[in-house]
């Protein structure tokens, strides 16, 4: 296992960073944040067409380029740095992963190529009104069988990009347990999608109501939870990488400002109150990097025990690190940092919404404790 | 996550493992985990253990053979430290010479100095102390006042050093002196090697807060050393000293971190014993302690991987000490809380158990080798490029 980045990986980072600097600059982020849809098809197409980002870690047999999680993590880190808006996390970290983990080879062949090519926007609908990311939180029911077909009834909510996804992967309960279903949102009967106005406007959420909606069962009925659990672990690590990138951007902004803003006849960065705060931010970020990278390396090594610990660790730590650093960035900026015009709040809000996205830091600490036998 | 060193190094690692298993027995085994960068406990046993290591040719794994080393590479050095820490062998008594002075001499010493001093360091025949700090020069090391004047082919040294770790055991000191009386700050400093066995050197132990005579103050009155005992160039002592501090801030972390991991495991066991895991507040702090040591490990592995790949280490190499020292202190507080009233009782003559020693000695980790505040200045100015503080 290689615990440092290779030249090719550095190169990937550079390419993605410069792409996002162009297509996800502050102006683009603000435009998409203000737009209820929050998705720019033009950028999305370039992401797939020019860089193949949607299919980066999808195996070649399903139309992707078959890179590993370290590469994917690099992309998420850069996406976080640029506050990329749109359904990338939902499609790649959640939906593609769920398909890869579920035990249904034909579904993979049917559905993954569309995701890899950028044709399909997808998401995972797991949470319900309780906002829980665990097995007991899944209440929505599926009825039917393979001959008559399956039908979903119930509500999913806080679904990332659920308002626009073409493909919904829905976790549902049948008499024998948790199962995963695919719903083609374009022509699904009995599906209502309600966009939810979000505190963090850079990542959209939706409420999905299913009434006897036809769905395709993926894999064997009742056996989906372990695959979903692994999907969530992977998504936790990728989100952690995104959080590291966001935190790093917030620190860069703080440092740039601390260099030029003069008070008492000195740049504020020469005062220890500010300098030490920035040093603590960097220490927090480097520690968060270790947490996130540790998770990525574990994913690539495919070590189940290691993943089970590294994922909640990364999520608990990186969530808090991003929020703290994004808050400190506002503090370093003083009054200007508190304005709508300044980008500092965009990072702060993204940090707070990311904290809640896959379960709170406390929830992940509990997961970790349970898995360590503490 | 473990480091994979590849097949060639795996043989070497097995050799280390086997040797440690065969030799870490008896009294040495009883002193597993004892010691630390500032822990003077069980000095004689640990010195004997260093000699045992020397006899096995395990000291100076990366040093050239001509000076008694093994002539191996960085990867083997790291593999050795890793296995060493895994075996929980006693903390080496002579790290100051092995990890700081030795590498500094290899880098900046003259050929004669290397021939003269490196072999006895590896043979544990001469012990060393670092004489940098003074009563008026701690964080602000550039304000050292200890003077050295040239008299014929000797230097005559006058002044006072303080906080010299393991100073009472030192046969030699490497001291930072001011050789140009008109100079200020970083100019006009010279690094000298000075024998302690002479009338002009008086070393008095200072008791630390754990009750140990671990560090010392050193009084130099017309102490003498040869003109050839300058490391680097006369007047360029700042450069030499900084090179040593660079080493100091980097190397001690890897073995320490494995010690911290063991402390975290012990803490979880203790918590389980005490039924403390049912207390959600404690549970949270315990998980956080575990997270901290795991992050320290990954951070160190990142740095090692970068070094062994021939890359310049990233920012984490600079932030690691601040993180580790701060988190280790939190771990200590938590361990003491879990130990409860029993943790407050010491043995005779203020005899401390491992937990109490570690708890108290951790207080030094945010002070020595550059205090946390100084680390933050370094990170702010050298890594983040923030403007310097106005200095006189
Ligand atoms: C256990 C132990 C072992 C040691 N071993 C050795 C040894 O072997 N050889 C040796 O030479 N030295 C040794 N030292 C000395 C160590 O390097 C110094 O203690 C350290 O550099 C701090 O200096 P000081 O004690 O004079 O504190 P000071 O420099 O007086 O600092 C006091 C406080 O002020 C803060 N402070 C100082 N300057 C600034 C600044 N510019 N900005 C913000 N805050 C500041 C410090 O962070 C600290 O909190 C040892 C120290 C300890 C505790």
Tens of pLDDT, residue by residue over B230-286, are 999 999 999 998 887 766 555 567 778 888 999 999 999 999 999 999 999 999 999
Give residue B246's pLDDT: 67
Q: What is the mean pLDDT of chain A?
A: 97
The three-class DSSP label of residue A87 is coil
Under 8 Å between Cβ of A307 and A232:
no
pLDDT at A1 over 50: no
User: pLDDT averaged over chain B?
Assistant: 93
Question: Which tens digits make up the pLDDT trace of B1-24?
Answer: 456 667 778 999 999 999 999 999
Percent of residues, chain B, with pLDDT higher than 70: 97
Supply the pLDDT for residue A19: 98
ipTM of the complex, rounded to two decimals: 0.92
* More confident of the two residues A253 and B308: A253
- B389 is a catalytic site residue: no
- Contact between A298 and A312 (Cβ < 8 Å): no
Q: Does B112 touch chain A (CB under 8 A)?
A: no
Residue A36: exposed, middle, or buried by beta-carbon count in 10 A (0-12, 13-18, 19+)? exposed
Q: What are phi and psi of B263, to 5 degrees?
A: -65, -35
Res B154 pLDDT > 80: yes
Mean pLDDT score, A20-46:
98
C-alpha dist (Å) from residue B173 to B39, B170, B176, B364, B384: 19, 7, 10, 21, 35
Measure in Å the smallest separation between the Cα of B126 and chain A Cα atoms: 38
Could you report the per-residue pLDDT of B46-92, keeping only the tens digit for each? 999 999 999 999 999 999 999 999 999 888 888 898 899 889 999 99
Hey, are the CB atoms on B381 and A275 less than 8 Å from each other? yes
Residue A97 has pLDDT above 60, yes or no: yes
pLDDT band at A17 (very low <50, low <70, confident <90, very high): very high
Choose the mutation target among A260, A283, A305 for the interface with B, i.e. most B CBs under 10 Å.
A283
Q: Is the dihedral of CA B338, B341, B347, B349 positive or negative?
A: positive
Contacts of B305 in chain A (CB under 8 A): 2-4
Nearest CA in chain A to B4: A1
Most informative mutation of B138, B211, B329 for ligand 1 (most atoms within 8 A of CB): B138
With a CB-CB cutoff of 8 Å, which residues 268-327 of chain A face chain B? 269-272, 274-276, 278-280, 282-283, 286-287, 289-291, 293-294, 297-298, 306, 309, 313, 316-317
**Range B203-226 average pLDDT:** 96
pLDDT in the model for residue B250: 53
Residue partners of A255: CB distance under 8 A and separation at least 6: A269, A278, B384, B385, B386
Chain A residues touching B295 at Cβ < 8 A: 287, 290-291, 294, 313, 317
- Give the percent of chain A with pLDDT over 90: 97
Kindly state the DSSP code that residue B379 receives in the 8-state scheme. I
- State residue B251's pLDDT score: 55
Confidence (pLDDT) at B392: 64
pLDDT of residue B295: 96
Query: What span, in angstroms and rounded, lies between the C-alpha atoms of B203 and B206?
Result: 10
B139 close to ligand 1 (CB < 6 Angstrom): yes
A21 in B contact zone (CB under 8 Å): no
Instruction: Tell me which residue has its CA closest to atom 30 in ligand 1.
Output: B138
More confident residue, B250 or A132: A132
Chain segment A265-298, per-residue pLDDT in tens: 999 999 999 999 999 999 999 999 999 999 999 9
Question: Rounded to an integer, what distance in angstroms lies between the CA atom of residue B324 and that of residue B292?
Answer: 8
For residue B164, report the distance from its CA to the centre of ligand 1, in Å.
12
Q: Which of B248, B261, B263, B365 is catalytic?
A: B248
Does the beta carbon of B252 sit less than 6 angstroms from any atom of ligand 1?
no
A365 close contact with B: CB closer than 8 A: yes
pLDDT at position B1 is 46
Residue B366 CB less than 6 A away from ligand 1: no
B368, B369, B379: residue to mutate for ligand 1 pocket, most atoms within 8 A of CB? B368
For residue range A331-372, what is the model confidence (pLDDT) as tens digits? 999 999 999 999 999 999 999 999 999 999 999 999 999 999
Question: How far apart (Å, rounded) are the C-alpha atoms in residues A287 and B40?
Answer: 31
B137 CA distance to ligand 1 middle (Å): 8
The Cα of B75 is separated from the nearest Cα of chain A by a number of Å equal to: 14
């Amino acid at each position: 296992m290689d615990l440092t980045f290779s030249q090719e990986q550095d190169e990937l980072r550079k390419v993605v960073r410069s792409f996002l600097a162009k297509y996800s600059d502050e102006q683009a982020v603000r435009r998409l944040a203000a737009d209820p849809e929050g998705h720019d098809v033009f950028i999305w197409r370039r992401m797939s067409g020019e860089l193949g980002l949607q299919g980066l870690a999808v195996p070649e047999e399903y139309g992707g380029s078959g890179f590993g999680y370290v590469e994917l993590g690099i992309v998420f880190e850069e996406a976080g740095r640029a506050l990329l808006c749109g359904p990338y996390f939902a499609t790649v970290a959640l939906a593609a992963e769920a398909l890869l983990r579920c035990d249904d080879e034909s579904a993979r062949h049917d559905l993954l190529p569309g995701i890899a090519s950028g044709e399909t926007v997808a998401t995972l609908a797991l949470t319900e009104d309780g906002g829980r990311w665990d097995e007991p939180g899944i209440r929505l029911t599926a009825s039917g069988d393979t001959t008559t077909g399956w039908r979903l009834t119930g509500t999913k909510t806080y679904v990332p990009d659920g308002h626009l996804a073409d493909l919904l992967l829905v976790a549902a309960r049948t008499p024998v347990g948790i199962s995963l279903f695919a719903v083609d949102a374009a022509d699904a009967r009995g599906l209502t999608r309600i966009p939810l106005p979000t505190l963090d406007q850079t990542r959209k959420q939706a409420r999905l109501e299913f009434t006897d909606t036809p769905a395709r069962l993926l894999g064997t009925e009742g056996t989906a939870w372990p695959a979903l659990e692994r999907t969530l672990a992977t998504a936790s690590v990728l989100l952690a990488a995104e959080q590291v990138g966001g935190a790093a951007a917030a620190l860069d902004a703080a440092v740039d400002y601390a260099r030029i803003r003069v008070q008492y006849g000195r740049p504020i960065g020469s005062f220890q109150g500010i300098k030490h705060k920035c040093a603590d931010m960097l220490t927090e970020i480097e520690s968060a990097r270790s947490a996130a990278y540790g998770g990525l390396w574990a994913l690539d090594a495919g070590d189940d025990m290691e993943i089970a610990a590294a994922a909640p660790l990364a999520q608990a730590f990186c969530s808090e690190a991003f929020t703290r650093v994004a808050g400190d960035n506002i503090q370093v900026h003083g009054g200007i940092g508190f304005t709508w015009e300044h980008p500092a709040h965009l990072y702060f809000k993204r940090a707070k919404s990311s904290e809640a996205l896959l379960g709170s830091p406390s929830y992940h600490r509990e997961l970790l404790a349970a898995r360590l036998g503490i | 996550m473990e480091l994979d060193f590849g097949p060639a190094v795996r043989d070497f690692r097995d050799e280390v493992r086997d040797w440690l298993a065969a030799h870490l027995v008896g009294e040495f085994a009883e002193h597993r985990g004892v010691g630390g960068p500032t822990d003077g406990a069980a000095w004689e046993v640990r010195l004997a253990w260093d000699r045992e290591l020397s006899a096995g040719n395990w000291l100076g794994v990366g040093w050239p053979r001509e000076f008694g080393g093994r002539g191996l590479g960085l990867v083997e050095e790291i593999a050795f430290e890793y296995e060493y820490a895994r075996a929980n062998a006693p903390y080496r008594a002579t790290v100051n010479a092995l990890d700081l002075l030795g590498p500094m001499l290899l880098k900046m010493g003259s050929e004669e100095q290397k021939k003269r001093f490196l072999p006895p360091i590896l043979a544990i025949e001469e012990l060393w102390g670092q004489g940098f700090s003074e009563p008026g020069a701690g964080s602000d090391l550039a304000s050292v006042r200890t003077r050295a004047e040239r008299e014929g082919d000797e230097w005559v040294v006058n002044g006072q050093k303080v906080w010299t770790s393991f100073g009472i055991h030192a046969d030699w000191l490497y001291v930072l002196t001011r050789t140009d009386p008109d100079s200020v700050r970083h100019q006009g400093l010279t690094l000298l090697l000075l024998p302690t066995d002479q009338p002009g050197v008086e070393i008095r132990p200072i008791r630390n807060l754990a009750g140990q005579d671990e560090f010392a103050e050193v009084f130099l009155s017309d102490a003498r050393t040869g003109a050839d005992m300058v490391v680097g160039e006369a007047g360029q002592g700042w450069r030499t000293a900084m090179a040593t501090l660079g080493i100091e801030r980097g190397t001690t972390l890897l073995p320490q971190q494995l010690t911290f991991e063991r402390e975290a495991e012990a803490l979880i066991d203790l918590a389980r014993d005490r039924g403390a895991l049912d207390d959600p507040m404690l549970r949270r702090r315990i998980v956080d302690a575990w997270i901290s040591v795991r992050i320290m490990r990954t951070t160190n592995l990142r740095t090692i991987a970068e070094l062994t790949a021939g890359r310049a280490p990233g920012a984490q190499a600079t932030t690691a000490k601040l993180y580790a020292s701060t988190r280790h202190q939190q771990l200590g507080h938590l361990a003491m809380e879990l130990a409860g009233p029993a943790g407050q009782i010491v043995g005779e003559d203020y005899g401390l158990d491992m937990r109490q020693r570690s708890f108290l000695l951790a207080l030094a980790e945010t002070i020595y080798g550059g205090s946390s505040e100084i680390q933050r200045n370094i990170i702010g100015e050298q890594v983040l490029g923030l403007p310097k503080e106005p200095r006189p």
